[in-house]
Amino acid sequence: MKYYDKLIFELSKPGRTGYSLPEPASKDALSAIPAGLRRESDTCLPEVSEPDVVRHYTALSQMNFGVDTGFYPLGSCTMKYNPKINEEIAAMPAFSAVHPLQEDIPGINEIIDGLDHALCAITGMDHFTFLPCAGAHGELTGLMVMREYHLRRGDTGRTKVIVPDSAHGTNPASAAVCGLQVVEVKSGPDGLVDVESLRPLLGDDIAGIMMTNPNTLGLFERQIGEIAELVHGCGGLLYYDGANMNPLLGMVRPGDMGFDIMHLNLHKTFSTPHGGGGPGSGPVGVKAALADIATSLKVSGFHGNFGVMLRAYAYILSLGRQNIRLAGKLSVLGANYIKESLKDVYKLPIPSVCKHEFVFDGLVNDGAHDDVKGATTLDVAKRLLDYGYHAPTIYFPLLFHQAIMIEPTETESRETLDAFIDIMRKIAAEAAENPATLHDAPHTTPVSRPDETLAARHPVLKWQDSI
């Protein structure tokens, strides 16, 4: 990657244009608008030509790393290959030119119904709403379903929701903005929700529980059957955080485990591109008794991110009933393969079989000696960038101080995993020998270890602030 230091504003030259539009018919086409309602100040929009724009953004793209660039073992994010046909389908003018309030659209309706049906078949739920635009948005919507269910029954005292200490950070945040108080349930030494710790928390003030299964350590919550019985027994509902659905694809359905409400991240499980942080799609699935509630919740402007739904549906059609059987299994195969290949040089806090991802707790030998500081998880992550890999998720989950969370996905070959394993071992050896090599990493990227403290203490958040 080459360092390129321009911002589009710095290419601007008065008189250049990047647009082609006809002249308005009249001299003052805005004459109908009184002066008092018109803009007074200039804008900072740049004046650049079309080739300027193309070169600039191409140069920016070359400082970026995507799934197409290389292996992206970012735990919890399911960075699988994004099929190209899906992009072509989403760009078809027949779909992209449809106004959201148009009603005479049997083709689009058939697509949405088909996707709904397929997701229900895959998850064991009865109905999906597609309005949520992201995973966290789905969580919020799902919790609204939970609250509304209790409210409609006149059960207004259920204001608490149970969230395991290993949960994704969005879980407690979603609960809080949905007006629910978070009650944390501890994990046991095996990394699983401790049923005995859960039992005393249950009562008539509990709206439900939020769980992801497998959990954020990549471990299957074996006692989910008992947990479901207990939570249902106290009158609560079970919410499934679908961020970790991938290993269950083709094997296990959340609906069968007792979950009443769930969301899916179409941008994880169903291979739609992450786009540098969105657009995603976080449809919420519910059991039949909650379908009316789910349908009634207006949580975004129109029908959700239809363009993302198109891509996901195309992917599901390519999987079909045959290939879906292998999707989850191969993701689990890859994760266990890496785990078993590295556990002698990276600390594995919980040795059981994992699902699509697993967590190391730093290096076995971080090279610390005398006054020399050992190599941290951050150092390992930054060193991976030098070797052409995206780093795993680091410092999450919070249960371990040096967490390194690795998720390979089913679209990575054995050769790719072997090469990654070799590099991870090489980094471990470097750390043991001379941790300083790692403290300075990365060495080959366009920039290295930007000063985040400076950025937060003296915020420069737009171009005008910096000049």
| 87 lies in the site for another protein, by CB under 8 A | yes
As a whole number of angstroms, the distance between CA 417 and CA 346 comes to 16
In whole angstroms, the minimum distance from the beta carbon of 370 to another protein comes to: 18
Closest to another protein by CB, 372 vs 463, is: 463
| 225 lies in the site for another protein, by CB under 8 A | yes
# of chain residues touching another protein (CB under 8 A): 199
* Joined tokens for residue 113: 């119904």
160 has which bridge partners? 181, 206
| 325 lies in the site for another protein, by CB under 8 A | yes
What is the spatial order of strands in the sheet that 393-394 belongs to? 358-361, 403-406, 393-394
List the Cα angle 236/238/330 in 5-degree steps.
165
Closest to another protein by CB, 300 vs 365, is: 300
As a whole number of angstroms, the distance between CA 30 and CA 75 comes to 53
Among 73, 75, 135, 191, binds another protein (CB under 8 A): 135
Asked whether the beta carbons of 71 and 390 are under 8 A apart, the reply is yes
8 has which bridge partners? none
| Interface segment toward another protein; rule CB under 8 A; list 140-148, 197-205, 364-372, 427-435 | 140-148
| Stretch 227-256 residues interacting with another protein (CB under 8 A) | 250-253, 256
| 101 lies in the site for another protein, by CB under 8 A | yes
Closest to another protein by CB, 39 vs 288, is: 39
Asked whether the beta carbons of 75 and 359 are under 8 A apart, the reply is yes
Asked whether the beta carbons of 396 and 65 are under 8 A apart, the reply is no
| Stretch 294-323 residues interacting with another protein (CB under 8 A) | 297-308, 310, 314, 316-323
For CA atoms 413, 416, 420, 423, give the dihedral sign: positive
| Stretch 173-202 residues interacting with another protein (CB under 8 A) | 173-179, 181-182
| Interface segment toward another protein; rule CB under 8 A; list 103-111, 230-238, 364-372, 429-437 | 103-111
Task: Tell me how long the chain is.
Answer: 467
* Joined tokens for residue 163: 């969230």
List the Cα angle 133/137/141 in 5-degree steps.
115
| Stretch 41-60 residues interacting with another protein (CB under 8 A) | 41-48, 50, 53-54, 56-58, 60
| 157 lies in the site for another protein, by CB under 8 A | no
Alpha helices of 259-371 — where are they, by DSSP H?
A: 266-269, 291-296, 306-342
| 83 lies in the site for another protein, by CB under 8 A | yes
| 329 lies in the site for another protein, by CB under 8 A | yes
| 448 lies in the site for another protein, by CB under 8 A | yes
| 156 lies in the site for another protein, by CB under 8 A | no
User: Mapping DSSP to helix (H, G, I), strand (E, B) and coil, where does residue 98 land?
Assistant: coil
Closest to another protein by CB, 140 vs 284, is: 140
In whole angstroms, the minimum distance from the beta carbon of 90 to another protein comes to: 8
| Interface segment toward another protein; rule CB under 8 A; list 78-86, 231-239, 365-373, 427-435 | 78-86
